[in-house]
Structures are given as C-alpha cells and as structure tokens.
Amino acid sequence: EAGVAQSPRYKIIEKRQSVAFWCNPISGHATLYWYQQILGQGPKLLIQFQNNGVVDDSQLPKDRFSAERLKGVDSTLKIQPAKLEDSAVYLCASSPGGDSTDTQYFGPGTRLTVL
Amino acid sequence: GQNIDQPTEMTATEGAIVQINCTYQTSGFNGLFWYQQHAGEAPTFLSYNVLDGLEEKGRFSSFLSRSKGYSYLLLKELQMKDSASYLCAVKGAAGNKLTFGGGTRVLVKP
C-alpha cells in the first residue's frame, strides 16, 4: 500500500514570496491533516479535513495560510506571503475515518526555509 | 486546551532499557499515541492506549493511567537504530484532534 505522498520535499524562498505544498493521502482515507513542525518541537495541527470539508482550522493563520481539498482526495497548503517564522517542516497525514481509534499516517514532509 | 509534557532528551546504552514519561492535562480524552521520528523523517506510529494498563509490542511497551494523566513508553534491548525522537500525542474529544508534546530525543550509545 502506498503511503502519504508530499511534494516538494524541500523549498527555499525569500520572505514575502508565496509557496504551495501538495499532499496525496493514502487511498481511501477520508481524513487529511496538515501539521507544522518547527525544529525541536512536536507537530502542530494547522487544519483537518474530513473528505472535502474543514473539521478544524483553529490554529491556521488565516491571514496568510490557506488550504483546500476540493475533490476530497489531494490537498494543497499555501502560504502567501511567507514570513521568516514560517520556516519549518510541513507534514501531511491521513487517517481512514476520523473516529477515536484512527491512527494517523504521515508523509515525508516538506522542509521550508524562508530567507 | 491540551498541555503535554515529556523530557527533552535522554541518553542510554545499547542493550539497556529506557522509559520515556509523558504527562498530560486535557479537556477531553480519546486516547494517547506514541510516535517515533528519526531525524529528517516523518513520524511513524508506535502505539495507542485508550484504556488503563500496559500494551506490549515486541521491544516496545506503552502504559497509560487516565486518572493520573500519565503515560510512558518503555524501550527494551536498545539498539543503535532506536536513536530518534519519541512523540507523545493525545487525542481530544472534539473532532479527534491530535495534540503533540515536544518530543523526547533518545540517544543510544554503544
């Protein structure tokens, strides 16, 4: 079974530029998550989708971050404009159905450096 | 909200045992997860506890006490490849949101 795919793996941009990340979850997984992991810290949830609807985006900085999952499969996360403090690894995860026993499976992440 | 605490770093010798503690304060509880994360890689699932007690899975065991808001991950017969960060994560009641601790970096020495 193929795992969670993410691209690009690495991205370097200057502050105030825009960037987009892509995620393809495990086939059949209804729930998709985007996390931000700053070096030396645990992942922090940015947004959770159930199919193509948003379940939780309470920690998403909506003035600069946006995410969509239009057809309930792939998802994109965008930052516009980027700030220095956005330098982090952006992890995508998916789980089968979103119930309490669900295990989340993570992709390899995109390492973003903002200069 | 959720508050999860675990030690920042631990060092142990190859072949030994290490216990990583995790304490949590949550407004709702739907289970506790442990993940392993090697440097530069994605977190990988190790264990899930929702009821009190010990869950054993090979060299790794995880314990949960809901009344104490406490869990530990026990790594036995340590191998060099066990050098990694270990993340404790609690699933809350609302929307099954997973909140992670800061991670414990374990260094295994020969």
Question: Three-state secondary structure along B26-89?
Answer: CCCCCCEEEEEECCCCCCEEEEEECCCEEEEECCEEEEEECCCCEEEEEECCCCHHHCEEEEEE
Q: What is the pLDDT of residue A12?
A: 98
**Nearest Cα to B30, choosing from B2, B56, B49, B46?**
B49
Say whether residue B30 is in contact with chain A using an 8 A CB cutoff. Answer: yes
Q: What is the pLDDT of residue A24?
A: 96
Asked if B41 lies within 8 A of A107 by C-beta distance, the reply is no
Q: Given a cut of 80, is residue B66 above it in pLDDT?
A: yes
Q: What is the pLDDT of residue A1?
A: 65
Q: What is the pLDDT of residue A52?
A: 85
Q: Whole-number mean pLDDT of chain B?
A: 93
Averages of pLDDT over runs of 10 residues in chain A (115 residues) are 91 97 94 94 94 91 94 94 97 83 90 97
CA distance A3 to chain B (A): 11
Closest residue in chain A to residue B8, using alpha carbons only: A40
Asked if B102 lies within 8 A of A42 by C-beta distance, the reply is yes
* Mode of pairing for the β-strands spanning A110-114 and A10-13: parallel
Chain A hits for B96, Cβ within 8 Å: 98-100, 102
CA gap A77, A74 in Å, rounded: 10
Q: What is the pLDDT of residue B94?
A: 67
Q: What is the pLDDT of residue B28?
A: 84
The residue written with tokens 């949550």 in the block is B26
Q: What confidence tier does B95 reach under pLDDT thresholds 50, 70, 90?
A: low
Which two three-digit tokens encode residue A43?
């992942």
Length of chain A measured in residues? 115
- The percentage of chain B sitting over the pLDDT mark of 90, rounded to a whole number, equals 81
Q: What is the pLDDT of residue A70?
A: 81
First to last CA, chain A: 37
CA gap B57, A31 in Å, rounded: 26
CA gap A30, A113 in Å, rounded: 30
Chain A hits for B9, Cβ within 8 Å: none
Q: B5: which strand partners?
A: B23
Which tens digits make up the pLDDT trace of B74-84? 999 999 999 99
Which tens digits make up the pLDDT trace of B20-61? 999 999 888 889 999 999 998 999 999 999 999 999 999 999
